[in-house]
Structure 1
Amino acid sequence: MVMDHSAPQASRPGAAVVTGGAKGIGFAISLELARRGYAVVVTGRDQAALDRATRDIRAQVTDARVTAVPLDVTSSASVAEAFAAVAEFAPLSVLVNNAGVIARRPAAELPDDDWSRVIETDLSGVFRCSRAAFPLLAQHGGGAIVNVASIAASVGISGRVAYTAAKAGVEGLTRTLALEWAASGIRVNTVAPGWTLTEMVESGIASGQLSHDALVARIPLRRLANPAEIADAVAYLASPQASYITGQTLVVDGGFCINGNA
């Protein structure tokens, strides 16, 4: 009898769904998870952006397993349809709740419609997608959910009252889901990015709405984050290396929130 002493091949990771995964931080997360071998499901409402994201991932990652699924996180019907498609693609291992919008108006002037739009997307959307992912994760013995919040959950930001409220809600939702779903082997954590060089921030700097120098002056590391650095944090919390971490928030802000001298 001939014994085979070769090392067993590691199984490939399952599917990773990234909401809002076609642009900015979301695209960086989709790309990093593809590099780590996940079968990435890029979701969002902009079909052209979804097509571009999947094309770019295939161009940068050899043998990438990636598909695009339209998803409106404010619609329970859309969420159900999207996760049914995920179940056909690959066994679900990871959900990253990244989709989000912002309404920039002073609290006293914010219309109900803008408040509802932000809460429905940034908070209720996280709940809807997590609820839809639960049975898919549980049936395979568990997995990881990583919610993308913001330092806005911890500090006040003028003109973004709905956004800050929603992101604080995401952190509370994270802790409760982590508690309820631990018995099913599902870990739930949050990444809270600080100021990051996304297209939105770069546009704000170019238009004069944001001051790059003023932002950097408040960050002890004296620079804004690169989207890839946020993606690394998300990928870590999704990975087996974080197998004993749940219900936590990982702040990735260059020290912004600890700077009492700002």
Structure 2
Amino acid sequence: MRTVVVTGSASGLGAAVCERLAARGTRLIGVDLAGADIEADLAVPAGRSAAMNAVLEASGGAIDGLVACAGVGPHMSDTSLISSVNYFGAVHIIDGLRPALAGGLEPAAVAIASNSLSLVPMHDLSLVDAMLAGNEVEAARLAAELPGATVYGMSKLALARAIRHRASAWGKAGIRLNAVAPGPVLTPLLQASLDDPELGPLVDALPVPLDRRAEPGEIAATVDFLLGPDASFVHGAVLFADGGTDALVRPDQP
């Protein structure tokens, strides 16, 4: 039986991932603020450390898979929280559990990015640079000065880049590491953005060639694929599962 850790497991996409993996008999260790096997606040270093220690204790020190799904949306009034959870919360958990993955069977990890990573203003990526440099204090300062939608997109861009930056070292260690970049998914996070008077119209205006929003189970299926043996040669990839939006916005970007 494979053991997989899922952060953000209590609701939305994380819950859908857990449901799909549980159906195939996977042993799950869920991490979330509340309503999970391990309750921890991934917005702060102490919470991340507590989560990792609890995972190691629950798993016996070895896991076969990791899904870094915990995240907050662009509607957050405290925009520094977006970078703290979406980037630092994800990367610290991914890096911290790498030794446990190294002890697993055909180990693989998947991070949840977003197609919003391709929609951020590219003329000033100071926030992305601060995140990639591991400077959480500077990232929080910069994030506090920016709109939530910009911080959200930059947090996901930094996360996707971090995944690709790790491909060489993780591959040599025998651990596959990939990211999924969903478009709008019918989750509470999306609904919170739709309910926001400023963000809602922007989300509604985002073109989706398939002319609909994704069900959580559709993205969970993509995550399941990347964790499994059918994706055994997929590594360091950022897979857009967004109904064609990225192809429409960046048609010449492979």
| Band of TM-score, shorter chain | 0.7 to 0.9
Task: Indicate the structure (1 or 2) with the bigger Cα radius of gyration.
Answer: 1
Q: Choose the corresponding residue for 1:233, options 222, 227, 232.
A: 222
Instruction: Check 1:145–1:115 CA distance in 2 against 1; reply closer, same or farther (3 A cut).
Output: same
Contact 2:63 2:103 survives alignment (8 Å): no
SS of the residue 1:131 aligns to? helix
* Separation of aligned partners in 1, 2:83 and 2:106: 28
Deviation of 1:260 (Å): 4.8
Contact 1:141 1:184 survives alignment (8 Å): no
Query: Partner of 1:58 in structure 2?
Result: none
Query: Partner of 1:20 in structure 2?
Result: 8
Taking only aligned residues, the RMSD between alpha carbons, in angstroms, comes to 2.6
Deviates more, 1:23-32 or 1:69-78: 69-78
Q: Which runs of 5+ in 2 are unaligned?
A: 122-146
Q: Choose the corresponding residue for 1:100, options 71, 85, 100.
A: 71
Amino acid at match of 1:95: L
Q: Choose the corresponding residue for 1:148, options 88, 96, 112.
A: 112
Instruction: Check 1:26–1:116 CA distance in 2 against 1; reply closer, same or farther (3 A cut).
Output: same
Deviation of 1:34 (Å): 1.2
Tell which has more relative contact order, 1 or 2 (C-alpha 8 A, sep 6+). 2
* Separation of aligned partners in 2, 1:199 and 1:135: 33
2:128 is equivalent to residue 128 of structure 1: no
Q: How many residues align?
A: 222
Query: Partner of 1:84 in structure 2?
Result: 53
Instruction: Check 1:207–1:133 CA distance in 2 against 1; reply closer, same or farther (3 A cut).
Output: closer
* Separation of aligned partners in 2, 1:236 and 1:190: 12
Q: Which runs of 5+ in 1 are unaligned?
A: 1-11, 51-67
Amino acid at match of 2:171: A
Query: Partner of 1:38 in structure 2?
Result: 26
Contact 1:19 1:98 survives alignment (8 Å): yes
Contact 1:198 1:227 survives alignment (8 Å): yes
Contact 1:142 1:184 survives alignment (8 Å): no
Q: Percent identity?
A: 31
| Residues 113-124 of structure 1 aligned to structure 2 (within 5 Å) | 114-124=78-88
Runs of 4+ residues over 6 Å off in structure 1: none
Deviates more, 1:186-195 or 1:203-212: 203-212
Deviates more, 1:72-81 or 1:179-188: 72-81
Amino acid at match of 2:86: D
Contact 2:160 2:179 survives alignment (8 Å): yes
Deviation of 1:73 (Å): 1.7
Amino acid at match of 1:197: L
* Separation of aligned partners in 2, 1:223 and 1:141: 37
Query: Partner of 1:179 in structure 2?
Result: 168
